Amino acid sequence: MPNEILDRLIESREDAKKKITLAMANTASKKTVDADEAVEALDRMIAQQTERLAATKASLASAVERLEGDIRVRQKRIDQLQELAERHRKGLEEPSPPEEPERPVAPKLRDVKGIGPASAQKLRAAGINSVEKLSKAPVMRVVEVLGVTEEKAKSVIESAKQLLS
């Protein structure tokens, strides 16, 4: 996961470089430089980078949340094993492995019907990084992010809702 985030940041940086180079080439080819146009282009790039940064932060927060859940489950397992070992040392019972605690498995975006790897990546980049968030997303936001029809967006959102029920 950290490698994916790093790759996205590097890709975003490369995209920004290309856009700046293109803007500079376009500006150099004109005899007069329209300062307002250049500022607007930079403002758009800043807004895009800010949006990508927010999506990355949300993705990291989600990853941290999952890791903390895993840590809690593993700590509980360690505590059970330590208690079992202590009871065995005292001769209270024959050792038998404790039951595995059930780990709630949250569905992933790719589990939603109609969402493949590319669509999942687009959704995460837009801050929709869970099935729950997708199920609550406005139809037009999904249309915008995925570049699909309203009908397809409604279908994807409905699939997400069904997956959560």
CATH number of 106-165: 1.10.150.20
CA distance 152 to 125: 19
Q: Hey, what's the torsion of the CAs at 113, 58, 8, 150, to 10 degrees?
A: 40
DSSP 8-class letter at 113: T
What pTM does this model have? 0.41
Per-residue pLDDT of the chain (165 residues), as tens digits, is: 555 655 665 666 677 667 777 766 665 555 455 667 777 777 888 888 888 888 788 777 777 777 887 888 888 888 888 888 887 777 765 555 666 666 667 788 888 999 988 999 999 899 999 999 999 999 999 999 999 999 999 999 999 999 888
Q: Where does residue 91 fall: left (phi above 0), alpha (psi -120 to 50 degrees), or beta otherwise?
A: left
The full set of domain ranges for the chain reads 1-105, 106-165
Amino acid at 64: V
Let me know: does 76 contact 101? Beta carbons within 8 Å.
yes
Beta-sheet strands, E only, within 17-65 = none
Rounded-to-5 percentages of helix, strand, coil across the chain: 75, 0, 25
